[in-house]
A = this chain, B = another copy of it.
Amino acid sequence: MREQPPSLRIAEALQQRISDQEWAPGDRLPSRAQLAQEYECTEAIVRRAQERLIAEGVLEGRAGSGTYVAAQRERLRLVRPLAREIGEQESFRTQMAALGKRGTWDSRSEGPLTAPTTVAARLGITEADYCVRTSYEYLADSKPVYLATSWEPYSMTSGSLVVLPEGGPHAGQGVVRRMAEAGVKVTRAVERANPGNANAEEAHLLGLLRGASVTRIQRTYYSSDGRAVETADIVVPAALCEIVYESTEG
């Protein structure tokens, strides 16, 4: 039987004091120097202990300020819209309204441009084919809650008023309705969900710490002839949103 390392012992001691409500969520812990003195160990050991608890989401470190008990923020329940009648934007706005929040989004379209290999594969086009890329930032009461980057083959909508997803008379109506305007009927929605970690840019946009836990959703809409009409990369931070899929019997 090997004895457990000092840092693990300290981690458990800190965890216990939090469980005992000696420190409440949001409270600042004593500094590493103080804790080291209290537990008669080095600062490095306290540091490792805190790192463990930070990784578990129990603690939260703020540079220059202190180490805090993680305040479990309210997470938004994000019901994914798999039905074809409702799009990302409308679904988001409706759900936020039901929570008494204002659901809005910022977007920026670019194109025509060529898609990266992986995106081209998802759309069933070649890397030479042109696309329109639109970046979204979804906001609840003006605070960012998740990100999305959408790709549409230029050939789907070229020559119509719906080339730019967030421009023209059909702005903000979602892919499905805009595609209907272009004569394309969307009959299938697929979402592939993968766990991951936020990169520096995503963390900055969402106000998270680098490496924060996220779910990456690859969403693709298909028309009745089986062709992909749009695909999107959606980044949902675990700290802000909980992803829900549901189906109810009529």
> B-contacting residues of A (Cβ < 8 Å)?
80, 82-84, 187-196, 213-215, 238, 242-249
Contact = CB atoms under 8 A, between A and B. Distances in A.
Contact of A213 (B188, B191, B196, B248): B196
A249 B82 contact: no
B193 A196 contact: no
A236 to B, nearest CB: 9
A194 B238 CA distance: 7
B195 A80 contact: no
B188 A245 contact: no
Contacts of A242: 192, 194
Nearest to A238: B195
B82 A246 contact: yes
Nearest to A216: B195
A247 B215 contact: no
B194 A244 contact: no
B215 A248 contact: no
Contacts of A196: 195, 213, 238
Nearest to A57: B196
A170 B244 CA distance: 30
A215 B190 contact: no
